[in-house]
Amino acid sequence: MSEGVMAVVKPEMKSYIWLQTADGSIQQVEEEVAMFCPMICREILQTGMGSSKNYAISLPQRVNPAVLGLILDYCRFHQVPGRSNKERKTFDEKFIRMDTKKLCELTSAADSLQLKPLVDLTSRALARIIEGKTPEEIRETFHLPDDLTEEEKLEPLRNITDDPRIRLLNRLYARKRKELKEREKLKNVEVEQECVDQRSVDDLLTFINGGNGDSKGIKTNKSKKKNRRRKDPTKDSSNNVNGNCNKESETLSSAFHDESRPSSSSNLQDCTIIDFDDGDVDDDLDPAMKEQLDREVEDFARRLNSDWPERMQEILSLGQERRLAPINMNGNGSARRYKSLDRR
């Protein structure tokens, strides 16, 4: 214990704290700057470490020298009491400008030093980076593992709007799901159980509102589709709101009747299925949307090793037939649609 460190600091005599990063290198930092970090502050007060080079405070592994420098810059600025809020804000805005990788490192380091204001600042910056990206883009930006199963990624979504693009993709996904289900039956039980377990959790995910004139809508379609598809297969034909559901459940029921989904049924009791063919929505896809749609479908299909031109043809022809079938909620509509599906 060196009580000297605890003595009152005379203005002309600055006190320094010694910090050691995981790589072994040691830095000397003004005391008031170092004390701004709660973790360091606690170390100094509780253990008395940091007063000299030999007793340098060991920093957590997540703090490397470069990022420590950044953190200390932050502390050095903010620990000065006289600064106005505007000054601090301006500093923060400039401070936060760095590449994504560095931002993550900084967040991680700030977290390990319990420097909450900095964690807050960097997290908000990260949120701004993530905002608006598709899951694929997020993975690319942050080099995250693509470790969800295809099944999990295909989780049906609650469809928020009657977006024709979504409808089209929904049909594609429906087919994919069917294939996967059939494939899974050949796999071991564990995978199936995992899916069933995940079901209740995933059921509630993804409420993407891509249809509100959101140009990013197409990117969100994937996740949206998933939830949407989810509902239809588990619905009994007796509980249908529109003929569409009838058709879907009939074509897919064979694939699903084995699985039990007790947890999800309660969610679906009083749900209102989006009518695929709500007359209010414009059925025509504009060229830009269609292009994006094509890309999306191609990308997805490629990943699942399917022959996309052929699939697109199928889907488009199915779409055509649907548009031709009049929209109504009674049995006639459903019968007609079922037939159109058959014709394929």
Smallest distance from the beta carbon of 51 to other proteins, in angstroms? Answer: 29
Give, as ranges, the residues between 33 and 62 that touch other proteins (CB under 8 A). Answer: 62
Which residues contact residue 246 at a Cβ distance below 8 angstroms, ignoring those fewer than 6 apart?
237, 240, 334, 337, 338
Q: Which of 245, 274, 293, 297 binds other proteins (CB under 8 A)?
A: 274
CA pseudo-torsion sign 170, 173, 179, 184? negative
- For other proteins, give the closer residue by CB, 112 or 306: 112
Tokens of 162: 């009657």
Number of chain positions touching other proteins (CB under 8 A): 63
Among 72, 160, 172, 218, binds other proteins (CB under 8 A): 160
HSE, CB side, 13 Å, CA atoms: give it for residue 92: 17
Q: Rounded to an integer, what distance in angstroms lies between the CA atom of residue 44 and that of residue 296? A: 55
Q: Report the candidate in 99, 145, 138 with the shortest Cα–Cα distance to residue 122.
A: 99
Q: Report the site for other proteins in 82-111 (rule: CB under 8 A).
A: 101, 104-105, 107-108, 111
Cβ atoms 260, 196 nearer than 8 A: yes
Q: Please identify, among the stretches 23-31, 78-86, 184-192, 208-216, the one whose residues bind other proteins according to the rule CB under 8 A.
A: 208-216
The token pair that represents 268 in the structure block: 């679906």
b/e burial code for range 229-253 (CB count within 10 A of at least 16 → b): bbbbbbbeeeebebbbbbbbbebbe
Q: What mask, x for binding other proteins by CB under 8 A, covers residues 185 to 204?
A: ----------------xxxx
Residue 271 is a binding residue for other proteins (CB under 8 A): yes
Looking at 15, 20, 161, 234, which residue binds other proteins (CB under 8 A)? 161
User: Helix 287-303 vs helix 217-234: angle between axes, to the nearest 10 degrees?
Assistant: 60
Of 10, 86, 143, 344, the residue at the interface with other proteins (CB under 8 A) is 143
Which span (113-121, 252-260, 297-305, 334-342) binds other proteins, by CB under 8 A? 113-121
Residue 156 to residue 163: CA distance in whole angstroms: 15
Choice between 278 and 307, CB closer to other proteins: 278
218 part of the interface to other proteins, by CB under 8 A = no
Please return the burial class of 330, using the count of CB atoms within 10 Å of its CB with bins 0-12, 13-18 and 19+. exposed
* Contact between 3 and other proteins per CB under 8 A: no
211 alpha-carbon distance from chain centroid: 18
Instruction: Give the CA radius of gyration of the chain.
Output: 29
The whole-angstrom separation of Cα 149 and Cα 261 is: 19
Q: Which of 156, 211, 243, 333 binds other proteins (CB under 8 A)?
A: 211
Beta bridge partners of 16: 30
Binding-site string for other proteins from residue 225 to residue 244, where x marks contact by CB under 8 A and - marks none: -x------------------
Q: Of residues 276-305, which lie at the interface with other proteins (CB under 8 A)?
A: 280-281
Residues in touch with other proteins (CB under 8 A):
62, 101, 104-105, 107-108, 111-112, 116, 119-120, 122-124, 126-128, 130-132, 134-135, 138-139, 142-148, 152-153, 155, 157-162, 201-209, 211-213, 220, 222-223, 226, 267, 270-272, 274, 280-281
